[in-house]
Structure 1
Amino acid sequence: MSQVHLRRFTGSAIAPHLHDVADLRIRVFREWPYLYQGDMDYEQRYLETYSRSPESLFVLAFDGERVVGASTGVPMADETDEFKQPFIARGDDPGRIFYFGESVLLPTYRGQGVGVRFFQEREGYACELGRFTHTAFCAVDRPSDHPRRPPDHVPLDDFWMRRGYVKQPSLTTLLTWLDLEESRPTAKPMTFWLKRLDGVDAN
């Protein structure tokens, strides 16, 4: 197994890697539970959020010069309304939250601790910026009887809880994409997970 190394890119430095991240999202999110029938037009629209933000983050996993994984983040204040509005409605300040977009890693490279390092790198960056009290991400909700659910699927909830994240049933949103075998995009329910950053002054 080749040694995977991680590199961090922020702000305008992410631009040369947008295509790599888009390609990984399309490949990895075809799997359960996202079942994403991706295309580059959708990816370009999605990644505009990161292109616009001067404090966006890509943590990329390399095997040599090949990008084999990616983990992203952006200040919640720079996100779209679909992400911000649930927090605003609850009375939370999006300006104090750093949002984690996704972690995608090719199957060959899983089980080597890269997922843990993705979280560590993103949380470390949020702490370095100095004004964030929490980090957050959201995950798709699929019914337990979904016909495409693999019989051996193990949810990531335990992994996320070990990282200190707590599921927030009161924080939900809808995101729209094209599922495999769908004829048109449909809205999918998403639930947020939240973690308080240690050593950060909330005042």
Structure 2
Amino acid sequence: MRVEALTGPALSAALDDVGRLRIAVFRDWPYLYDGDLAYERLYLEHYRTSARAVLVGAFDGGSLVGAATGTPMEDHANDFATAFSQTGLALSDIFYCAESVLLPAYRGKGVGHRFFDSREAHARSLGRRYVAFCAVQRPDDHPARPDGYRPLDAFWRARGYAPLDGVVAKFRWKDLGDTVDSEKPLQFWMREL
């Protein structure tokens, strides 16, 4: 498996494949995302229009089997400015690591670490002081929570990330089995580079 950082035209060319991966991977717990490619194309436009965006792709031969994206946080100011408004942190100091999606057959082989290593290196090259991401919060008693589910908190903490108290974004999407979208809280985690 090859893991490679893509920018510019190479990043743009891979975005439909990233959309398909997001739809496939985020269907599972805890996101339960009922997505479609038309929405994905609109959402992923952030990465096409940001000159400083990065897409770290995991390839099996010529097939994209995993992807992790990131941009300067100010490229997402409309989405996250409210969540960070009381922190005293400048968005221009933060690099935002967005999705990390990897097909199940490729998990447990160190790709998640390579995704973070590459995005953190990209953030350093941009002179960023912090790297942050957010993760959906679901109640422990949610009826769709699988038995034996282990959140990724230990993995993130081992990489030096910690949750930011009170820094929560709100996003809407349609859960599997629902007819309308609903708001979900996403907790921010951050580390200093």
TM class by shorter-chain length?
over 0.9
2-structure distance, mates of 1:134, 1:23: 29
Q: 1:200 aligns to what?
A: none
Residue 170 of structure 2 corresponds to which residue in structure 1? 174
Contact persistence 1:36–1:179 (CA under 8 A): yes
Report if the CA contact (8 A) 2:134-2:188 is conserved: yes
Alignment of 1:66-105 (within 5 A): 66-105=63-102
CA contact (8 A) 1:87 1:171 kept: yes
Give the conservation status (yes or no) of the 8 Å contact 1:7–1:59: yes
Partner of 1:117: 114
Q: TM-score, normalised by structure 2?
A: 0.97
The alpha-carbon deviation at position 41 of structure 1 amounts to 1.8
8 Å CA contact 1:29, 1:36 repeated in 2: yes
Residue 49 of structure 1: how far off its partner (Å):
1.2
Counterpart mapping for 1:24-43 below 5 A: 24-43=21-40
Question: Per-residue CA shift, 1:22-65, capped at 9, x if unaligned?
Answer: 00000000000000001012111211111111001100000111
CA contact (8 A) 1:173 1:189 kept: yes
Cα distance in 1 between the residues matched to 2:171 and 2:34 = 14
Distance in 1 separating the partners of 2:70 and 2:189: 14
2:187 counterpart SS class: strand
Q: Structure 2: how far apart are the matches of 1:169 and 1:37?
A: 29
**1 CA distance for matches of 2:93 and 2:8?**
18
RMSD: 1.0
Output aligned runs, 1:1-203, within 5 Å.
4-130=1-127, 132-197=128-193
The offset of 1:82, in angstroms, is 2.0
Q: In structure 2, how many angstroms separate the alpha carbons of the residues matched to 1:154 and 1:170? A: 23
Separation (CA, whole Å) in 1 of partners of 2:77 and 2:24: 24
Identity %: 48
Long gaps (5+) in structure 1: 198-203
The residue type paired with residue 172 of structure 1 is V
CA contact (8 A) 1:49 1:80 kept: no
1:148 Cα deviation from its structure 2 partner: 0.4
Q: Gaps spanning 5+ residues in structure 2: where?
A: none
* Aligned structure 1 segments of 4 or more residues deviating by more than 6 angstroms: none
**Letter paired with 2:62:** E
Aligned residues: 193
Q: State the distance in 2 between where 1:195 and 1:11 align.
A: 26
What is the TM-score when the length of structure 1 is the normalising length?
0.92
Which residue type is aligned with residue 86 of structure 1? A
